[in-house]
Amino acid sequence: MDATFCAGLATLSAFTLRSVGAYDVNGWPSVSHLLALFTALYLPLKYYRIFFYPWYLSPLRHLPTPTNNFLFFGQAINFVRASSPVELYVKWMREWPDAPVIRYLTFGNTEVLVANSLESFRELLQTKCYEFCKPDRWHRIVGEIIGKGVINMEGDEHRAARRMLTGTFNVPNSRKLIPVFQAKAKEVSALFERAIAGGNDGDGTGVFTALDAFQSFTLDTFGVVNLGVELNHLRSITFDDDKIEGKKVKEKDGGWTFHKAYEIIFAPGPLGGMLMFANGFVPVRWLPIKENKDFADACAFLKATLKQLISERIQTVHTAIREGTYEKEKSRDLLTFICEEMVPGGPAEGLTEYHVLGHMLQFMAAGGDTSANTLSWSAYILSKHQHIQDKLRAEIQALYTNDPTPAYSSIDALPYLDAFIKEILRLYSPAATIHRQATKDLTIDGVLVTEGTVVDVVGAVTHLNPLIWGEDADMVRPERWFPENTTAKMQNLHAFQAFSNGPRICIGKVAAMIELKTLFVEIVLRYRFIKVETEPVFENPSLVLKPTRLRVRVRRVN
């Protein structure tokens, strides 16, 4: 924006100088003159923006602000050095617990605000939701990955997309997916069996790498639940020496698969992750390096594959509906649900294949990685806290003792299972940060925010706040969710942000909870997580709380 302004002003200045005789009346300003004028205007303006305005003139300068900044980079380097994507936010929240919002400086000393009070969360996510949009830098980071779908739509377009998709993600449709979740949960059990069979200690135990196992589960589940196709990856995982050491096993044929593309995009490694986040500030995707080429190829493969699948499914469903041969009650995948509602007169009439593609890309990005991380952290907690695992297993065993084939409604009603999952989601919120940008001047919890200001909404700020959850906010205690233990602050809608809140709340929340509960019932009933063999390390920078290197030892329950 500053460069465009200065370029226009430089051109205007040059022609003004020409009109008063600074140039030959028949001549035009040379390129060198224009560049000199541009530089003379641009450099002082940037100096003012970077080194003067944030400290001396900004209306936000009186807000609580961390001072350990790097020249020009602000807190950007500290974010990269942090042990997790949310470490600094939690530190600032505890340093200024009563502040409505906190300010920090990032690349180019740009000001960013952090929502810090329950009221600021309420205004950002609910009452003033549509007065904010996704920031430009966020679009540059993830735009190539997620296409155009409900996540990055704004205003009326977003409202219309949510209305179209509401039926697809309603409770009845979500419960149609239970047989799929149950079948995939059994494949995780089979994976644990192969880990035990491949164990070298002869003690009936085996070790699995949590992210490898659960990312395979969630992506394979995505294939069936969202697309109606089998991706068949779980059954192909082996436990040879490379896998035991946590190394990636490369495809021998070198060809593209969904899983290979998914890994490149969502688990890109240190340099790939740095490039993704750096692109939000400075364009780097054009650099001719392997990570960029692999990223572009993976995105192109996923989009082309999904586009073909979507086109074929729409044609199949709509042809069958016209011919009267379609059996709607048998459909069990989200793509088919959407195709059903795209018929004339349906709630999704007018939805284009382009937007269906965007929705599917976003369901994969938002659902697959986050669920895999939640499951991995759950295995970690169960291994570390055997008493929690014992209580959870006892509750599930009691259910199955009374009814060998319980309905999902009975599973859903298990109080300790529900509390355990909520506690994991509180401690390790699936999305590390949500970013918003003010579309006009407004206030957040009484603080004036000018148009264009970016605000970070971080679940950990409320999830780990001792003023809300007590002095043991960092500890794992599922019992805190029991009605008799909750306080007024804990019951506040915005104290728990695992799925966000307001008009942009996660559209797949119901399906995600069904998936998690179905899997836990299957694996906790049959297997014990004995101990953590390799402690997890947070991937950072990252948009999610990803526990890399986590390896867990497991054995059958006798």
Q: Does 299 appear as a known binding residue? A: no
Distance CA(81)–CA(541), nearest Å, equals 9
Q: Are strands 111-115 and 454-457 parallel, antiparallel or unpaired?
A: parallel
Q: 7: how many CB neighbours lie within 10 A of its CB? A: 15
SS3 40: helix
Q: Measured on CA atoms in the order 443, 448, 454, 458, is the torsion positive or negative?
A: negative
If you ran DSSP here, which 8-state letter would residue 67 be given?
A: -
Pick from 135, 63, 73: nearest CA to 102 = 63
Question: Could you give the strand order of the β-sheet that contains 551-556, starting from the edge strand earlier in sequence?
Answer: 205-209, 551-556, 527-534
If you ran DSSP here, which 8-state letter would residue 473 be given?
A: T
Q: What tokens does 6 get?
A: 């200065």
SS3 169: coil
Q: At what angle do helices 415-427 and 509-526 cross, to 10 degrees?
A: 110
Pick from 517, 171, 514, 174: nearest CA to 332 = 174
Distance CA(284)–CA(497), nearest Å, equals 32
* Max Cα distance, the chain (Å): 97
Distance CA(222)–CA(180), nearest Å, equals 10
75-79 long-range contacts (CB < 8 A, ≥24 apart) are 75/104, 75/105, 75/106, 76/106, 76/107, 76/281, 79/106, 79/540, 79/541
| Binding positions | 506
| Binding positions for heme | 506
